């Protein structure tokens, strides 16, 4: 578990999270700002994802997808390490989403900041990357407030719903010396 503040924490997903996950993530704006989350997001999508997380957990691999939970244990969002460069790399990529009622309150900035610190301090990473769609201004603000810097624009980096989208690459490094 990773504590965010008095009201929220991160933990692994459980198979019992299916209904709540389907309810909180089923938002066209969440889908529009992420590469792989469909809209509508059905219960079957949640069950498939949670089974994927369970299989990953059963193979004794580190948590890849972290559920953001309120103090009642309900899923409210998520943050993930993608292990894009392999499990032994010094760097990785992250992605995240948050249910709409919690937008605009600074919570996602706290989550990204806390999770980044965890990755640097507990998992030994020295660089985290966070690519976003160019038109996702809110996510850009979250990353900047969490200490990430804009490193560049990636033309036609993503194909979503048969449309090429440009991306922005944000990154943060720690001061660790090898």
Judge if pTM exceeds 0.75.
yes
* Per-residue pLDDT at 177: 72
- As a whole number of angstroms, the distance between CA 49 and CA 152 comes to 31
* Per-residue pLDDT at 54: 95
**Residue 156 and residue 122 in contact, taking contact as beta carbons nearer than 8 Å:** no
CATH class of 2-125: alpha beta
If you write DSSP's letter for every residue of 93-148 in order, what string do you get? EEEEEE-GGGTTSSHHHHHHHHHHHHHHHHS--SEEEEEEETT-HHHHHHHHHTT-
**For 3, how many CA atoms within 13 A lie in the half-sphere containing its CB?**
4
* Per-residue pLDDT at 60: 85
């Amino acid at each position: 578990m990773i504590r965010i503040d008095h009201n929220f924490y991160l933990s692994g997903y459980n198979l019992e999270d299916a209904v709540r996950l389907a309810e909180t993530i089923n938002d066209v704006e969440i889908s529009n700002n992420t590469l792989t989350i469909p809209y509508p997001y059905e219960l079957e999508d949640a069950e498939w994802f949670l089974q994927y997380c369970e299989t990953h957990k059963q193979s004794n691999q580190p948590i890849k997808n972290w559920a953001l939970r309120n103090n009642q244990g309900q899923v409210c969002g998520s943050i993930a390490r993608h292990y894009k460069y392999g499990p032994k790399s010094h760097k990785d990529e992250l992605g995240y989403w948050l249910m709409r009622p919690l937008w605009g309150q600074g919570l996602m900035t706290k989550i990204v900041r806390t999770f980044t610190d965890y990755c640097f301090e507990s998992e030994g990473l020295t660089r985290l990357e966070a690519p976003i769609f160019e038109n996702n201004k809110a996510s850009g603000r979250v990353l900047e407030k969490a200490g990430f810097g804009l490193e560049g624009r990636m033309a036609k980096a993503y194909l979503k719903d048969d449309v090429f989208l440009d991306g922005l690459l944000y990154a943060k490094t720690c001061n660790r010396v090898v």
